[in-house]
Amino acid sequence: MSLNDIKRTHYARQIDRSLIGQQVRVGGWIEDMRDIGKLAFATIRDVTGKCQVIVTGNNLQSALQAPRQSAVIVRGVVQESKARDFSVELKASEFIVLTEAVHPLPIDPTGRVESAIDKRLDARALDLRNPRIQAIFHLRSAGLKVVRETLGSQGFIEVNTPKIIGSASEGGANLFGFEYFAKRKAYLAQSPQLYKEQLTLGLDRVFEIGPYFRAENSHTVRHLSEFTSVDIEAGFLDYEEVMDILEQLVRRVALEFNENHKAELKEAGAKEISITKIDRLTYEQCIDELAKEGEKMEFGDDLSDSALRRLGSLHPGFYFIIDWPLNLKPFYIHEKEENTKLSKSFDLQYNYLELASGGRRLHSPAMLRKRLAEQGLNPDSFEEHLKAFDWGMPPHSGWGLGYDRLMMVLTGQQNVREVVLYPRDTERLTP
């Protein structure tokens, strides 16, 4: 086989009436083959769609023997078609099977035979031949482009912080630890929290799209042990302003999907979500509303899953919960000046689901040391971080947005695993 044998001239979607009479080469896989005696109708699919190919003569036998899903390259002339689904077709002069698919295949990537999610994830590469699954990942990629454009246009620069770290970024819980060159203990970063805060010192506004690692012993449709987050941190901004940025970002991603990715939304089975103004409810408002619903809570209690579900039904769609009790927030969150039991913090919710959290940070090293001790953390193990606060740390705010959860919402999926190529959870470490 020469190199030219694997070159395509067109994608399936490009084969249209304007090409009638022209010779083209299409590369893809066999989706269907209908043998009607002297000829066969093959449906060849590639990443853009499918086309019909008429196979006759010398090519017929090898085409008929090739198992479905085998990779092929087909050369032929484009002609008018009488088929119901195609206005043109390819009359093959060459039908080369490049790699045979070995049957039985673990799943049917055409989606005609449904498989349970675990079976599909075990065969993820093949699952991605299903147009519904492909659509999700096209949307995911389009969303990241909007994230980069939106944050870039507001003066944020994209950074990459280490994922192998020497001490916890978010406190001790849920930390994956391992031995580092048989010398010392290292951990996988739970978030870029400490680095992104330090970076405001020199770079002012930063964002990172990267993995979080959490030894999260949760078996739910929304928890993974490795997931992607969009994080920002900005000097000289307070928490309301970074909330505005988050609100604008989420709105823009949804708008991009609605305006320029209608076909993928439809293929993924998602409804268009339009985001207008996102309400900002205080934690205290939330517990009052919950009390009226019979969900009794004391100030300082965390919102349980059932409380969040109830709130979600009272406020369907996106909403912020702001001004959480300080005791519920991590050590780096700033208190409210006018009421120090409250904090300058927020979570972005979609119904019951938490999508993001953030807030204003402490920038005084003395306050940080005090808060670490109050939360039972050892300030000494944060010395590397704390020293940066003696170098003229600006006041700063930021947030972390669970990108997988946002995609789950915007692509209409019920399980976060659907929007992650190779999910990691308590049970799954392969493929």
Query: Which residues are tagged catalytic?
Result: 214, 216, 222-223, 354, 357, 405
Query: Which tokens belong to 414?
Result: 């019920």
Does 200 contact ligand AMO by CB under 6 A?
A: no
214 binds ligand AMO (CB under 6 A): yes
Residue closer to ligand AMO by CB (options 355, 372) is: 355
- Burial (Cβ within 10 Å: 0-12, 13-18, ≥19) of residue 141: exposed
Strands 164-165, 23-35: parallel, antiparallel or unpaired by DSSP? unpaired
The answer to whether the beta carbons of residues 262 and 142 sit under 8 Å apart is: no
Using rule CB under 6 A, residue 404 touches ligand AMO: yes
Q: Which stretch binds ligand AMO (CB under 6 A): 39-47, 102-110, 199-207, 350-358?
A: 350-358
**229, 343, 411, 413: which one contacts ligand AMO (CB under 6 A)?**
229
CA distance 279 to 319: 5
Position 277, amino acid: K
Closest-CB residue for ligand AMO? 402
Determine which residue in the list 223, 252, 280, 370 makes contact with ligand AMO, applying CB under 6 A.
223
In this structure, are residues 257 and 266 in contact, taking their beta carbons and an 8 Å threshold? no
Q: Which is nearer to ligand AMO, 33 or 355 (CB)?
A: 355
Which of 25, 344, 405, 424 touches ligand AMO by CB under 6 A?
A: 405
Whole-number Å distance between alpha carbons of 161 and 397: 18
CB of 128 to ligand AMO, least distance (A): 21
Q: Does 216 bind ligand AMO (CB under 6 A)?
A: yes
CB of 43 to ligand AMO, least distance (A): 38
Beta bridge partners of 228: 211
Going residue by residue from 374 to 403, which x/- string records binding to ligand AMO, judged by CB under 6 A? ------------------------xxx-x-
Within 10 angstroms of residue 372's Cβ, the number of other Cβ atoms is: 21
Q: How would you class 252 by CB atoms within 10 Å of its CB: exposed for 0-12, middle for 13-18, buried for 19 or more? A: middle
Q: Between residues 69 and 229, which has the closer beta carbon with respect to ligand AMO?
A: 229
Minimum separation from the CB atom of position 344 to ligand AMO (A): 11
Rounded distance, CA 298 to CA 352, Å? 20
27 binds ligand AMO (CB under 6 A): no
DSSP states of 11-45: -GGG--GGGTT-EEEEEEEEEEEEE-SSEEEEEEE
Q: Under the criterion CB under 6 A, does residue 418 sit at the interface with ligand AMO?
A: no
For residue 362, the number of C-alpha atoms closer than 13 Å in the C-beta half-sphere is 22
**Dist. CA 130–CA 331, nearest whole Å:** 45
354 binds ligand AMO (CB under 6 A): yes
Binding of ligand AMO by 227 (CB under 6 A): yes
Nearest alpha carbon to residue 353 among 283, 408, 429: 408
Q: Rounded to an integer, what distance in angstroms lies between the CA atom of residue 270 and that of residue 46?
A: 23
Nearest distance from C-beta of residue 388 to ligand AMO, angstroms: 17
Q: In this chain, which stretch among 5-13, 80-88, 223-231, 289-297 interacts with ligand AMO, using CB under 6 A?
A: 223-231
Size of the site for ligand AMO (CB under 6 A): 22
Taking the complex as a whole, the smallest distance from the CB of residue 219 to ligand AMO amounts, in Å, to 11
CB of 231 to ligand AMO, least distance (A): 6
Residue at 202: amino acid letter: G
Residue number with CB closer to ligand AMO (69 or 193)? 193
Tokens of 209: 């799209």
Shortest distance (Å) from residue 4 CB to ligand AMO: 46
What minimum distance in Å lies between the beta carbon of 296 and ligand AMO? 25
Strands 157-158 and 205-213: parallel
191 in contact with ligand AMO (CB under 6 A)? yes
Q: Kindly list the distances between the CA atom of residue 343 and the CA atoms of 171, 300, 321, 364, in Å, as whole numbers in the listed order.
A: 18, 11, 12, 15
Contact map string, positions 154 to 183, toward ligand AMO, x by CB under 6 A = ----------------x-------------
Of 214 and 371, the one with the shorter C-beta distance to ligand AMO is 214
**What six digits make up the tokens of 151?**
């944050």
Give the residues lining the site for ligand AMO (CB under 6 A).
Answer: 170, 191, 193, 214, 216, 223-224, 227, 229, 231, 354-358, 398-400, 402, 404-405, 416
